[in-house]
């Protein structure tokens, strides 16, 4: 060992010695294709980095300056840059001042001497990297004068290098350039308007000006560069006029970046810029990639709505012309014979890059601009296309319609009949590719316009799809019709599907026996979806369908049939869930035997069966319930293995040369984070997400039976709450948390927890809840934030008072943070609403985004409600801290939902904390009283419920407010539409509150008058909880023979008997106990009242009520 070290030290001394040859050899070995040579060179290089950083840096600089070999100079520049990059192994601060000084001067001289353009660029990268660490502290005063000198030199090469450095410094340390804003402005303008500057220099200047404008923090500074904008655009148009499309493409890529980040900078010249881009996009003489980049610029501009809302919608002709360009691109599809073969790999045969670009951009444009803008233009262009003779135009219209449906769904639903008939008319087209496109459109519309499309047009869509399945000459059309049945049924009720099942199932069975695998796969997926959507209606087909499915499962063993077999698993498990355990039990056993034997075999990494099998097992568990437990030992090990998969990640620098190769690999997803490009293998992430979802399913289904796996699953899923590579993984981990805790609690309660007690549940909750709070704090996605809050609330309900004060403190702190972050997002949207181009469409989008924020507040309210219910008055010190966050929510400027949540929180405090809550009455009750007459029925309901709570528990503190409370409640009860559906819950709660005032504050009211009014409001039927309370109160008062209620000479008894009769024959509006007491009262009345009196009351009831009551009274 010691001799190895001595040898390495000797090698190091030689490499770093005065002779340059050994160092050059080391660098060439670092580029060697021989692994052995490369790794020993890397070890030596790393040793030098640790022990002699100064000498190493100087050696590299020397090599960069003087080596005659271009590849050695290039490698030296790259290695030097890596040494100076500010990451964990950053060398900068470890270098001595003389070394830094020597590096700085040799770098600048390298820039002047280097002739090779690609190496020059690498040297500029290294200079910028070094400068970004020391320039802010004025550690390189010579750099900027040198850069400005290069800009004004006669050498194009030096000008280009200087602009490159300016661009990079703008990104890294823009603030060090801002003091030179005036000088830079002049430099940019002079270069971009110069007749003599080369196109390369102009592109470098364009890159620099765009980077610099992006780093300026205020709009006044950015506006100083408005006069440079025409020259920036001219760089593009000049290169096109000179036939230099490669330069034009570079310019377009830079302008696209500007459009995405600073769209308002383009505003004053928008008409000209957009006009130029449209001209480029329309010019069929130009290269496709040039036209595509112009389209990308326009779509990016439309998408940059957070920074410039509504700006492009106001441009005349913009949408019409861009839409027409995209439609023209969609026409570029060839009638490739391979398409007709219906082999999966030929799915996009005949489609061109124009076609793909058109598809993608229509989808993005519709989402960015919305239906009110897009639909009128689209319909006008479709109608022209659909009367043309070329099949490509018909095909293009249908593809375009499917692409815009997601972004335009709200507007398209209003014209549903027109849309559906336009598509269905093309089911009769003589061209198979048009028929395919029509079916494709129906499938997409079923997803985007469902369930409206299913509810209104099932009678024409399903028969059309069934007929398309008969197209024997075109198996691809048949298969696609089956896929569209899948889309249709996913958004469909069992009742709608039932009448069509005979026809659809029999056709799908015919397709299952078709020779083409693609058709069989389509039929299996459709059958699975139809079974899932029709549920028990599928029972009658089970005996016919299941044998086919089992045959495929048992016999499709060939590698080429892997997907077919996988889909048969999916179909069997969904059919089993649809028909239920009793029908499926026997077949399930056989199917699980096959799955177990498959599980024991070695599968290839890309085998689809793995992920389908994970899902099939989970469905079998859902279907069989506790009977599935014996199989868990087989299922769990591979499932945990899949959930624990490490993401397959490659990290490169964002501007690395292999960028193009990576971006074409469909199995990789690419994310840009700062200056890093992260490539992730999607199949691994999808398998991981599926496995996490399945773990959640098992915990949910098996409840206490899942106990033996809780520890392993918790240790697997809790870290995944912060798995930022994949949203679905985080979602599944979040959903599983309450399920794990519920499983533990039930097992402990039922004595099935292997001897564990509540201390185990506390331990689990102390692990889960803090981790969820930490994940919530960092969660970037609002929708997942809502799910996290919901899951935290469930966990709190399950752990109850096992939570200690420290945990409550961290929950309350996180609640404050969540409310603050949500409010600031809403404030930012408010600022967007004040932008000059803001319009109604943008307002609609902001409204949708704010609705998500309301869901956050709603969940916060639920959490606080749970804490108040669990800890009662001991939670109040925390409530006091939160009041500064809650009080603003009562304001009239807040949304109805925010006001409702604030009132509900007060209601909970008043109800759960009783006397301890009196101190809040003065502050909150005026708000509650006012809210009783809010225009929102939900706010009214919360407010009148709160008055009922205060009447019940407020004692003498509430007494002075009884009069005002009654008049507020009276307004709610007396309003003309009080009992209509949207107001009914507020009505029932108001009546209940009046009842509580009668019960607890009778001495403060005119009791006979108020009680009569209350009685005349009964029975209640909407809010079943309040109805049960009120009907029980009525029953008790009758039992006590309450004089004010019965009236003089029992005058109101007929009304009371009628109410009893309606309550007893109504639906779930009385507890069993109260109902028994009511029946006893009626039996007593039968004994005591004259038959004629009872008969006249009886005659006012409906015949079915009379009949039901007779049988109750006689039983």
Six token digits for residue 1018: 């009964």
Report how far residue 1014's alpha carbon sits from residue 1005's, in angstroms, rounded to the nearest whole number.
13
Looking at residue 217, its pLDDT comes to 85
Task: Among 756, 778, 803, give the residue marking a domain's end.
Answer: 803
Looking at residue 674, its pLDDT comes to 55
Six token digits for residue 937: 């029925």
Looking at residue 7, its pLDDT comes to 80
Task: Among 779, 803, 827, give the residue marking a domain's end.
Answer: 803
For 1039-1049, the pLDDT digits (tens) are: 999 999 999 98
Would you give the distance in Å from CA 529 to the centre of its chain?
24
Q: Work out the number of other CB atoms within 10 angstroms of the CB of residue 155.
A: 12
Report how far residue 646's alpha carbon sits from residue 649's, in angstroms, rounded to the nearest whole number.
9
In the predicted model, is pLDDT for residue 672 greater than 80? Answer: no
Indicate if the alpha-carbon torsion angle 957, 961, 962, 966 is positive or negative.
Answer: negative
Residue 726 lies in a domain: yes
For 551-567, the pLDDT digits (tens) are: 999 988 888 889 999 99
Confidence of residue 853 (pLDDT cuts 50, 70, 90): confident
Six token digits for residue 341: 């073969």
Lowest-pLDDT choice from 529-538, 624-633, 1094-1103:
1094-1103
Report how far residue 780's alpha carbon sits from residue 827's, in angstroms, rounded to the nearest whole number.
18
Looking at residue 659, its pLDDT comes to 45
More confident residue, 962 or 614: 962
Looking at residue 108, its pLDDT comes to 93
Instruction: Please give the span between the terminal C-alpha atoms of the chain, in angstroms, as a whole number.
Output: 97
Cα–Cα distances (Å) from 222 to 177, 182, 215, 229, 342, in that order, read 14, 12, 9, 11, 55
Contacts of 60 (CB under 8 A, 6+ apart): 76, 79, 80, 83
Confidence of residue 636 (pLDDT cuts 50, 70, 90): very high
Residue 288 lies in a domain: no
Domain that holds residue 786: 665-803
For 713-754, the pLDDT digits (tens) are: 999 999 999 999 899 999 999 999 999 999 999 999 999 999
pTM of the model: 0.77
Looking at residue 1083, its pLDDT comes to 92
287 closest CA partner among 253, 246, 256, 328: 246
Indicate if the alpha-carbon torsion angle 714, 717, 720, 721 is positive or negative.
Answer: negative
741 closest CA partner among 717, 714, 716: 714
Looking at residue 673, its pLDDT comes to 60
Report how far residue 812's alpha carbon sits from residue 851's, in angstroms, rounded to the nearest whole number.
23
Residue 828 lies in a domain: no
Long-range contacts of 1077-1085 (CB under 8 A, 24+ apart): 1077/1035, 1077/1039, 1078/1031, 1078/1035, 1079/1112, 1079/1113, 1081/1035, 1081/1038, 1081/1039, 1082/1057, 1082/1109, 1082/1113, 1083/1113, 1085/1053, 1085/1057
More confident residue, 396 or 593: 396
Helix or strand run (H / E) with residue 955: helix 955-958
Six token digits for residue 55: 């000498």
Average pLDDT of 696-700? 95
Average pLDDT of 252-259? 95
The pLDDT mean for the chain works out to 91
* Number of folded domains that form the chain: 2
Report how far residue 744's alpha carbon sits from residue 760's, in angstroms, rounded to the nearest whole number.
8
Confidence of residue 308 (pLDDT cuts 50, 70, 90): low
Cβ contact 682:667 at 8 Å: yes
Would you give the distance in Å from CA 798 to the centre of its chain?
27
Looking at residue 661, its pLDDT comes to 44
Residue 670: strand pairing partners = 679
Calculate what percentage of the chain has a pLDDT beyond 90. 70
Residue 264 lies in a domain: no
For 571-588, the pLDDT digits (tens) are: 999 999 999 999 999 999
Q: Work out the number of other CB atoms within 10 angstroms of the CB of residue 50.
A: 11
Six token digits for residue 935: 């225009």
Backbone angles phi, psi at 676, to 5 degrees: -110, 140
For 87-136, the pLDDT digits (tens) are: 545 566 678 889 889 989 999 999 999 899 999 999 999 999 889 888 88
Classify each residue of 717-732 as buried b or exposed e, where b means 16 or more C-beta atoms within 10 Å of its C-beta: bbebbebebbbbbbbb
Residue 673: strand pairing partners = 676
Average pLDDT of 245-266? 94
Confidence of residue 2 (pLDDT cuts 50, 70, 90): low
Task: Among 89, 112, 130, give the residue marking a domain's end.
Answer: 130
Lowest-pLDDT choice from 23-32, 380-389, 660-669:
660-669
Report how far residue 897's alpha carbon sits from residue 909's, in angstroms, rounded to the nearest whole number.
19
For 747-789, the pLDDT digits (tens) are: 999 999 999 999 999 999 999 999 999 999 999 898 999 999 9
Residue 14 lies in a domain: yes
Rounded to 10 deg, the angle between the 937-953 and 921-931 helix axes is: 140
DSSP helix/strand/coil, 580? coil
Nearest 5°: the CA angle 628, 630, 631 is 70
Report how far residue 339's alpha carbon sits from residue 346's, in angstroms, rounded to the nearest whole number.
6
Lowest-pLDDT choice from 27-31, 274-278, 909-913:
27-31
Report how far residue 40's alpha carbon sits from residue 46's, in angstroms, rounded to the nearest whole number.
10
Average pLDDT of 204-222? 92
Looking at residue 653, its pLDDT comes to 61
- Within 142-269, residue ranges assigned H as helices are 143-151, 156-173, 181-193, 199-215, 219-223, 229-241, 245-261
Average pLDDT of 162-190? 93
Looking at residue 848, its pLDDT comes to 78
The maximal CA–CA distance of the chain, rounded, in angstroms, is 127
For 826-845, the pLDDT digits (tens) are: 888 877 777 766 777 777 77
More confident residue, 607 or 485: 485
Cβ contact 288:813 at 8 Å: no
Looking at residue 5, its pLDDT comes to 75
- DSSP, res 141: T
Confidence of residue 345 (pLDDT cuts 50, 70, 90): low
Contacts of 816 (CB under 8 A, 6+ apart): 881, 882, 885
Confidence of residue 991 (pLDDT cuts 50, 70, 90): very high
């Amino acid at each position: 060992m010691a001799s190895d070290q001595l040898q390495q030290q000797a090698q190091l001394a030689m490499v770093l010695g005065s002779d340059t040859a050994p160092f050059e050899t080391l660098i060439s070995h670092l580029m060697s294709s021989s692994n052995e040579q490369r790794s020993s060179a890397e070890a030596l290089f790393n040793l030098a980095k640790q022990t002699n950083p100064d000498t190493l840096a100087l050696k590299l600089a020397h090599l960069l300056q003087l080596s005659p070999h271009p590849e050695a100079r290039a490698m030296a520049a790259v290695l030097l840059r890596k040494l100076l990059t500010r990451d964990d192994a950053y060398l900068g601060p470890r270098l001595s001042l003389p070394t830094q000084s020597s590096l700085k001067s040799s770098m600048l001289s390298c820039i002047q001497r280097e002739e090779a353009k690609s190496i020059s660029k690498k040297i500029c990268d290294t200079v910028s990297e070094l400068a970004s660490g020391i320039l802010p502290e004025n550690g390189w005063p010579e750099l900027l004068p040198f850069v400005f000198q290069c800009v004004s030199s006669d050498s194009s090469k030096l000008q280009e290098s200087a602009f490159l450095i300016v661009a990079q410094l703008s990104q890294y340390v823009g603030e060090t350039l801002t003091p030179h804003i005036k000088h830079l402005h002049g430099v940019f303008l002079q270069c971009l308007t110069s007749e003599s500057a080369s196109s390369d220099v102009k592109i470098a200047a364009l890159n620099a000006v765009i980077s610099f404008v992006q780093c300026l923090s205020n709009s006044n500074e950015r506006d100083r560069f408005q006069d440079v904008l025409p020259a920036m655009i001219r760089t593009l148009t000049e290169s096109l006029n000179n036939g230099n499309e490669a330069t034009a493409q570079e310019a377009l890529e830079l302008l696209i970046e500007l459009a995405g980040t600073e769209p308002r900078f383009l505003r004053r010249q928008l008409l000209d810029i957009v006009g130029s881009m449209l001209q480029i996009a329309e010019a069929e003489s130009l290269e496709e990639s040039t036209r595509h980049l112009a389209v990308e610029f326009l779509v990016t501009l439309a998408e940059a709505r957070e920074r410039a809302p509504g700006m492009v919608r106001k441009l005349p002709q913009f949408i019409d012309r861009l839409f027409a360009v995209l439609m023209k691109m969609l026409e570029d599809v060839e009638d490739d014979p391979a398409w007709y073969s219906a082999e999966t790999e030929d799915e996009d045969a005949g489609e061109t890059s124009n076609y793909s670009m058109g598809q993608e951009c229509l989808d993005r444009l519709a989402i960015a601009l919305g239906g009110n803008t897009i639909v009128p233009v689209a319909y006008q262009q479709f109608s022209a296309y659909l009367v043309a003779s070329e099949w490509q135009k018909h095909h293009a219209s249908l593809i375009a319609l499917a692409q815009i449906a997601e972004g335009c769904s709200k507007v398209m639903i209003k014209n549903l009949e027109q849309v559906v008939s336009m598509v269905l008319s093309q089911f009769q087209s003589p061209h198979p590719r048009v028929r395919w496109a029509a079916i494709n459109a129906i499938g997409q519309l079923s997803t985007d316009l469902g369930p409206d499309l299913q509810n209104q047009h099932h009678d024409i869509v399903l028969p059309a799809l069934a007929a398309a399945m008969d197209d024997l000459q075109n198996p691809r059309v048949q298969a696609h019709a089956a896929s569209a049945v899948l889309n249709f049924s996913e958004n469909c009720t069992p009742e709608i599907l039932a009448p069509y099942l005979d026809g659809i199932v029999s056709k799908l069975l015919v397709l299952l026996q078709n020779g083409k695998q693609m058709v069989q796969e389509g039929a299996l997926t459709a059958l699975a979806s139809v079974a899932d959507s029709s549920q028990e209606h599928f029972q009658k087909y089970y005996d016919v369908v299941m044998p086919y499915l089992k045959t495929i499962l048992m016999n499709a063993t060939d590698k080429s049939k892997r997907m077919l077999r996988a889909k048969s698993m999916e179909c069997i498990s969904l059919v089993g869930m649809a028909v239920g355990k009793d029908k499926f039990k026997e077949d399930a056993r056989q199917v699980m035997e096959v799955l177990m034997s498959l599980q024991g075999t070695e599968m290839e990494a890309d085998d689809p069966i793995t992920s389908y099998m994970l899902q099939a097992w989970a469905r079998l568990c859902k279907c069989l319930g506790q009977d599935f437990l014996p199989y868990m030992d087989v299922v769990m090990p591979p499932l945990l293995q899949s959930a624990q998969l490490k993401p397959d990640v490659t990290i490169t620098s964002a501007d690395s040369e292999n960028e193009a190769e990576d971006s074409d690999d469909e199995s990789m997803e690419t994310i840009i984070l700062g200056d890093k490009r992260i490539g992730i293998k999607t199949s691994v992430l999808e398998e991981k997400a599926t496995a996490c979802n399945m773990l959640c399913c098992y915990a949910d289904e098996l409840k206490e039976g899942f106990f033996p796996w809780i520890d392993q699953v918790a240790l697997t899923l809790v870290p995944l709450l912060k798995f930022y590579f994949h949203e679905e993984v985080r979602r599944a981990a979040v959903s599983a948390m309450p399920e794990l805790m519920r499983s533990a609690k039930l097992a402990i309660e039922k004595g099935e927890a292997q001897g564990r007690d509540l201390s185990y549940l506390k331990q689990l909750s102390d692990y889960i809840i803090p981790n969820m709070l930490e994940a919530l704090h960092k969660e970037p996605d609002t929708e997942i934030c809502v799910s996290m809050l919901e899951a935290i609330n469930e966990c709190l309900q399950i752990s109850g008072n096992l939570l200690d004060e420290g945990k409550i403190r961290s929950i309350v702190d996180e609640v404050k943070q969540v409310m603050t972050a949500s409010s600031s997002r809403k404030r930012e949207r408010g600022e967007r609403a004040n932008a000059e181009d803001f319009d109604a469409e943008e307002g609609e989008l902001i409204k949708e985004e704010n609705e998500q924020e309301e869901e956050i507040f709603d969940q916060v309210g639920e959490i606080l409600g749970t804490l108040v219910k669990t800890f009662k008055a001991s939670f109040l010190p925390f409530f006091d801290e939160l009041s500064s966050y809650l009080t603003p929510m009562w304001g009239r400027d807040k949304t109805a939902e925010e006001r409702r949540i604030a009132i509900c929180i007060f209601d909970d405090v008043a109800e759960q904390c009783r006397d301890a809550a009196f101190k809040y009455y003065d502050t909150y009750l005026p708000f509650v009283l006012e809210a009783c007459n809010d225009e929102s029925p939900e706010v009214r309901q919360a407010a009148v419920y709160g008055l009922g709570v205060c009447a019940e528990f407020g004692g003498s503190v509430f007494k002075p407010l009884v009069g005002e409370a009654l008049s507020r409640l009276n307004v709610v009860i007396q309003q003309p539409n009080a009992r209509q559906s949207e107001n009914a819950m507020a009505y029932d709660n108001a009546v209940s509150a009046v009842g509580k005032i009668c019960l607890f504050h009778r001495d403060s009211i005119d009791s006979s008058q108020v009680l009569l009014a209350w009685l005349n409001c009964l029975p209640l039927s909407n809010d079943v909880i309040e109805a049960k309370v009120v009907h029980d109160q009525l029953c008790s008062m009758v039992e006590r023979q309450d004089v004010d209620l019965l009236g003089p000479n029992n005058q109101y008894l007929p009304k009371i008997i009628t109410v009893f009769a309606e309550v007893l024959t109504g639906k779930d509006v009385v507890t069993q106990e109260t109902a028994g007491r009511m029946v006893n009262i009626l039996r007593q009345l039968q004994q005591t009242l004259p038959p004629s009196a009872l008969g006249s009351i009886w005659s006012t009831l409906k015949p079915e009520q009379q009949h039901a009551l007779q049988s109750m009274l006689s039983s």
